[in-house]
A and B are shown apart, each in its own frame.
Chain A
Amino acid sequence: MIFRIGKMLLLLLGAYFLTFMQSYWHGPRLWLGFQPDLTPALLVFVGMTMGAGYVSSLALAAGLWLDSLSANPFGISIFPLFFVGWVVFCIREKIMIREFMAQIYLGVIASLFVFLFQLILLGMLSVSPMIGWEMAFWSLLNAFFCGLSVPLFSCLHKVFRRWFSNSPYEPNKWLNNNRQIVRGKD
């Protein structure tokens, strides 16, 4: 139970940090010309590796945080993020989620889907942001970054698991090899 709460807190802390960086760190905007949005990649990763509760909580928190730092109507980012996380969660048994390339493809598709879904929702609410070919190019570039981020999040997850959980029991591994009884001839 405590492990689950800790995991959830760590996840929310990661989303908080990601959202904060997106708004308050100007570096990428100066180097790339735009601000990458990696929250779809985080939702894909959570959908791949964690439960439905994590997907819902993260989509809600990340969506609200993103919209609170934006001129978007409040709450509009929740549904696209939730949808992406939920779809990945539902089909994860059927796809090769451990494959590096599969993770990249999922990140790319999720990012493009969230971008389009947000635009459709904005259009439905009669809000007209600035859109053009350059924005489409940026969304493709952002999708590429999201694709790369999914395996990165997976690696980070593995590292954290190694740090915060007990080492797995391996019956054939001895702490002191000298004490192992080796049977058979040399």
Chain B
Amino acid sequence: MALILLLIIPEIARAKLKSTIGGMFLPAIGVSSAGHNVLGVLSEKSPNPVQDEINNQSLISDSKLENIQLRAENLRLREAAEWGLRVPWRTKLAQVIGRDSFNWWRRVKLNLGSQHGIRSNQPVVSIEGNLVGRISEVGLKTSWAVLVGDPNCSFSALIKSSRQQGGIVSPKRFNSNYRIVELTYLPNDIEVRPGNVVVTSGLGGAFPKEIPVGQVEDSWLSRDGLYLEAKIKIHADLNRLEEVRILTDY
């Protein structure tokens, strides 16, 4: 009965209902992140006088490791800041707070929504500036971004060196490696080499021009011989995304 009702109601009402029911998880997200913070603070403050000697040694090695990690993070954030100054677009930093419940979709949930100025179809890039996807659904406080490689995220791209255009689509067969997508409809008389860099073409208006997407790993002629297809390894590691930038003005 409920299923029939859900199928009968209009698409807009169904989307609103979906967003409302999805909003039921906001308290759990709040509790989860607060608990995470409290645990972090407690683990820093709890002293253990019995194991002071061992702790000191481990602290020294920890601080060395932390130093290396901080240097790497500093470098990463410097690159991000430089990227932010270099590009002409306005961006907003968002945190990845969730992922799609089903393994056959590639979507992530972000902690910014319409009240933060996020709109549907805005491009999403990684901290380093590589293409990640686009905003697909916007709620008041959160939004969903569909990732590159999902069947709902196809767009026009080009090979940077030869300026030949094609379309980025999800792999024909499911691939557990989130970084593999396909570039299809390339002219069959061009040479595509492994290592060639692929960027967005700007066609269709979905994404601004020249956002780095990935690089060619392999190429082959399509079954009917009419066009070339290429396997692309995208730059952004979509399985380990923690923070992303949303292009709000581009």
Contacts and interface: CB of A to CB of B under 8 A. Distances in A.
A129 B6 CA distance: 21
A87 interface: no
Interface string A4-35: 00000000000011011011101001100111
B3 A35 contact: no
Contact of A67 (B18, B106, B239): B18
Main secondary structure of the interface of B (DSSP, over half): mixed
B25 A20 contact: yes
A129 B99 contact: no
A139 to B, nearest CB: 9
Interface in A29-70: 29-30, 33-35, 37, 60, 64-70
Contact of B174 (A68, A70, A131): A131
Nearest to B14: A74
A16 B26 CA distance: 12
Contact of B103 (A64, A67, A128, A138): A138
A23 B109 contact: yes
A181 to B, nearest CB: 54
Given A30-B239, A75-B3, A69 B98 contact: yes
A70 B102 contact: yes
Given A65-B21, A75-B2, A78-B2, A133 B99 contact: no
8 smallest beta-carbon distances between A and B, as pairs: A132-B174, A129-B104, A75-B6, A68-B22, A132-B173, A68-B21, A71-B105, A130-B174
Nearest to A142: B103
Contacts of B21: 64-65, 68
B97 A129 contact: no
Interface of B: 2-3, 6-7, 14-15, 17-19, 21-22, 24-25, 28-29, 32, 97-107, 109, 136, 144, 146, 150-152, 170-171, 173-176, 239-240
A66 B104 contact: no
A135 interface: yes
Contacts of A131: 104, 174
Interface size class of A (residues with CB under 8 A): 35 or more
B151 to A, nearest CB: 6
Interface of A: 16-17, 19-20, 22-24, 26, 29-30, 33-35, 37, 60, 64-72, 74-75, 78-79, 128-135, 138
A184 to B, nearest CB: 58
B99 A35 contact: yes
A128 B146 CA distance: 15
A128 B101 contact: no
Contacts of A79: 3
B73 to A, nearest CB: 19
A74 B18 contact: yes
Given A20-B28, A67-B18, A74-B17, A130 B100 contact: no
B101 A19 contact: yes
Contacts of B3: 75, 78-79
A72 B14 CA distance: 12
Contact of A35 (B103, B109, B174): B103
Given A26-B99, A35-B99, A69 B25 contact: yes
Contacts of A35: 99, 101-103
A72 B100 CA distance: 9
A75 B29 CA distance: 23
Nearest to A17: B28
A72 B102 CA distance: 8
B100 A70 contact: yes
A55 to B, nearest CB: 13
Q: Which of B21, B97, B171, B239 has the most CB of A within 10 A?
A: B21
